Amino acid sequence: MSSDVLRPEIQYATLAQQGDTAQLGMWVFLATETLFFGALLFAYFIYRMSYPHEFAEAAKDAVLWCGSVNIGLLITSSLTMVLAINAAADGRRRALVFWLCATAFLGICFLGVKVWEYRLDYVDHVVPAVNFIVKPGAGSAGELFWVFYFVATGLHAVHLTIGIGLVLYMLLWRVRRGEITPLYYAPLEVVGLYWSFVDTVWLFLFPAIYLAGRS
């Protein structure tokens, strides 16, 4: 669809109906993602209840400042994303481009902090199957915590990378070609739903990883 020929696809009566369908489709996908990450968090819950001391001890080595900076970055990126959608709805193209750039930048910053954190984890010898060293008093079950940590944060990083790719696609393809207009910006809204969902996942990973065993 291009800006000069704004017609719904053949199976839809109106653009509004087409946009609503796109949104509902993304919500169906997000429901499957809820189960995907839900199962992961359930596994964490079971392990934490099974090995409370070991998990508390192992979690003390998680780098709190990295997790805290990253939760701030992601929450802020959800704001910039929704401001981009508002700009699209109002037809403010420059603001739309600015907020999309800000969203992609914040996502890239998140990944940068994450890479730095992985480096710190490596130096701290907490990478299972690579250089894990059982610390005095931690118990071997503490390694389970770090397995969860790398699986969960790795899967989250993959999702965020896809999100950054989608934002850049919007920016460099759909917006540049004038396909996101006040009359039809459903593709951007769908990407926004995905982006905020990835943010939501981190909201739950943050206390599970960084706050366990601090007190």
Partner 1 sequence: MSGSRRHDPALVFIIGWLAMLLLTGLSIGSAFLGLGLCAPVIQFGIAATQAAILFVLFMRLKGPPSLKWVFAGSGFFWLLFLFGLSMTDYATRRGWPAAG
C-alpha closest to that of 107 among 131, 76, 129: 76
Tell me: does residue 76 bind partner 1 (CB under 8 A): yes
What is the C-alpha separation between 144 and 44, in angstroms, rounded? 9
Kindly state the tokens that stand for 75: 């929450």
For 54, 61, 141, 180, the CA distances from 213, given in Å and listed in that order, are: 9, 10, 15, 47
Decide: 183 and 83 in contact? Cβ < 8 Å: no
Q: 39 vs 158, which CB is nearer to partner 1?
A: 39
Kindly state the tokens that stand for 12: 């839809």
Q: 5 vs 49, which CB is nearer to partner 1?
A: 49
Tell me: does residue 117 bind partner 1 (CB under 8 A): no
What is the C-alpha separation between 68 and 215, in angstroms, rounded? 17
Run of H or E residues at 157: helix 142-169
Q: 44 vs 146, which CB is nearer to partner 1?
A: 44
Total residues found in the chain within this entry: 215
- Could you tell me which residues come within 8 angstroms of residue 96 by beta carbon, excluding any fewer than 6 positions away? 84, 87, 88, 175, 180
Tell me: does residue 97 bind partner 1 (CB under 8 A): no
- Contacts to partner 1 from residues 175-194, by CB under 8 A: 181-186, 189, 192-193
Decide: 185 and 89 in contact? Cβ < 8 Å: yes
Give the interface size with partner 1 as a residue count (CB under 8 A): 59
Tell me: does residue 133 bind partner 1 (CB under 8 A): no
Residue among 2, 3, 9, 20 that touches partner 1 (CB under 8 A): 20
Residue among 15, 108, 134, 151 that touches partner 1 (CB under 8 A): 15
Distance of closest approach, residue 37 Cβ to partner 1, in angstroms: 9
Tell me: does residue 31 bind partner 1 (CB under 8 A): yes
Residue among 19, 107, 142, 163 that touches partner 1 (CB under 8 A): 19
Note the residues at the interface with partner 1 (CB under 8 A): 14-16, 19-20, 23-24, 27-28, 30-35, 38-39, 42, 46, 49-53, 64, 68, 71-72, 75-76, 78-79, 81-83, 85-86, 89, 181-186, 189, 192-193, 196-197, 199-200, 203-204, 206-207, 211-212, 214-215
